[in-house]
């Protein structure tokens, strides 16, 4: 087994961001909905959204206005691929094969992780809007 204790399906309980300027941001709302899945074969996927996303005016998925599409993009995230774990360092690296954000396809996304009771804590630093943002996710095992 490649992932040890990581293997399974995890539900996001929270995800918050600390910006370099000290601001706290909730990119998917204060009560996000999403899952992070690690398989024993070394595959992974993430789906994450703000559960209060604004619906499009029409039920046709290709009918969104520019504003509706932009808001939908900003309040949803998804990617998948394979993963490797350095358990000693508490690092899991997501090797992306597919991503909502096209620039991440083919990239390695490094995450720090640790466990607390039935929870998984995931941390990541990313350059967003020309400053370092620190993401902290709390997930519970399903």
Report the distance separating Cα 20 and Cα 53, nearest Å. 27
Task: Provide the pLDDT for residue 136.
Answer: 97
Domain ranges for the chain = 4-141
Instruction: Give φ, ψ of 16 to 5 degrees.
Output: -130, 160
Report the distance separating Cα 132 and Cα 134, nearest Å. 7
Task: Provide the pLDDT for residue 32.
Answer: 97
The pLDDT tens digits of the residues spanning 58-97 come to 999 999 999 999 999 999 999 999 999 999 999 999 999 9
pLDDT at 118 over 90: no
Task: Provide the pLDDT for residue 26.
Answer: 96
Mean pLDDT of 47-68: 95
Give whole-number Cα distances, 82 to 17, 40, 87, in Å.
Answer: 25, 11, 16
Q: Say if residues 122 and 139 touch (Cβ distance below 8 Å).
A: yes
Task: Provide the pLDDT for residue 2.
Answer: 72
Task: Provide the pLDDT for residue 100.
Answer: 97
Task: Provide the pLDDT for residue 129.
Answer: 86
pTM above threshold 0.85: yes
* Superfamily name with CATH number, domain 4-141: Uncharacterised protein PF14869 family, DUF4488 (2.40.128.490)
Average pLDDT, the chain: 95
pLDDT at 1 over 60: no
Give whole-number Cα distances, 9 to 36, 67, 105, in Å.
Answer: 6, 33, 23
Report the distance separating Cα 23 and Cα 43, nearest Å. 34
Give whole-number Cα distances, 102 to 19, 38, 93, 105, in Å.
Answer: 23, 22, 18, 6
């Amino acid at each position: 087994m490649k992932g040890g204790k990581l293997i399974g399906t995890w539900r996001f309980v929270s995800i918050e961001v600390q910006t370099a300027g000290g601001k706290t941001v909730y990119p998917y709302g204060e009560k996000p909905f999403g899952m992070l899945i690690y398989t024993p074969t070394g595959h992974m996927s993430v789906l994450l959204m703000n559960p209060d996303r604004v619906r499009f005016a029409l039920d046709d998925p290709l009918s969104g206005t520019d504003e509706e599409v932009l808001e939908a993009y900003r309040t949803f995230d998804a990617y998948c691929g394979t993963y490797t774990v350095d358990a000693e360092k508490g690092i899991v690296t997501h090797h992306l094969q597919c991503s909502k954000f096209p620039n991440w396809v083919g990239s390695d996304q490094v995450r720090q992780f640790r466990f607390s009771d039935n929870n998984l804590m995931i941390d990541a630093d990313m350059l967003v809007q020309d400053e370092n943002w620190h993401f902290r996710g709390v997930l519970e095992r399903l």
